Amino acid sequence: MMNSRKQVLHTLVTFEKPLELIAKELSRFEWDYEGEPVIIEPIHVVSVLNRFLSGDFNAKQVEDWANLIECREDLDYNESNQEQMEQVIYELANPELEGRLTIERCNGIFFVLSLPHKSNQDYTKKLGLVLEEILSHYRMSGVLVNPS
């Protein structure tokens, strides 16, 4: 059964399948779109960057992922973090212009996405859960040590 546009877009923002498969499915749909967009949230970017940091994805795969997202008319951001998210996707999609993806750049992006946004309780809750998971992971792996 063919997936709907929204199903394919969800697969894209969560990077759940190889990009070649996602690209093939996306190419079934016209570029022009004026319906309800699928929202890309900070959690999607954080998840993809975590997979880059853990070695699941290389920098080229992250660049290609961001390029599939960049400028699409059927994707959008929440108003509360639109400026930050637009900038992050632009940076990831354009390493020749903005610099290649490194651990330091991931750190900077995490920082940007952690800054207070316009009041959005759902976002704050989700970000808190993600950060808890990340901190827990690094504490267990010994990367984080107590100041004492």
Partner 1 sequence: MSNTLPNPVQQKNIERFRNKIPSNAKENIGIYILPNGSVAVQATSPGKVPGSKAVYEKQIDVNGKTIQYTKTTYDPQDEIVHVKDKINIRTYP
Which spans of this chain sit near partner 1 (rule: CB under 8 A)?
23, 26-27, 30-32, 34, 67-68, 70-73, 83, 86-87, 90, 94, 96-99
**Cβ 77 to partner 1 shortest distance, Å:** 11
Q: Which is nearer to partner 1, 19 or 53 (CB)?
A: 19
**Cβ 71 to partner 1 shortest distance, Å:** 5
> How long, in residues, is the chain?
148
Whether the CB-CB separation of 97 and 55 falls below 8 Å is answered with no
Beta bridge partners of 38: 75
**Cβ 62 to partner 1 shortest distance, Å:** 15
Handedness of CA 52, 93, 85, 8 (dihedral sign): negative
**Cβ 140 to partner 1 shortest distance, Å:** 36
Q: Which is nearer to partner 1, 42 or 130 (CB)?
A: 42
- For the chain, the farthest-separated pair of C-alpha atoms sits apart, in whole angstroms, at 58
The amino acid that residue 58 corresponds to is: N
Gap between the terminal Cα atoms of the chain: 57
Q: Which is nearer to partner 1, 10 or 90 (CB)?
A: 90
CA 105 to chain centre: 14
Q: Which is nearer to partner 1, 30 or 36 (CB)?
A: 30
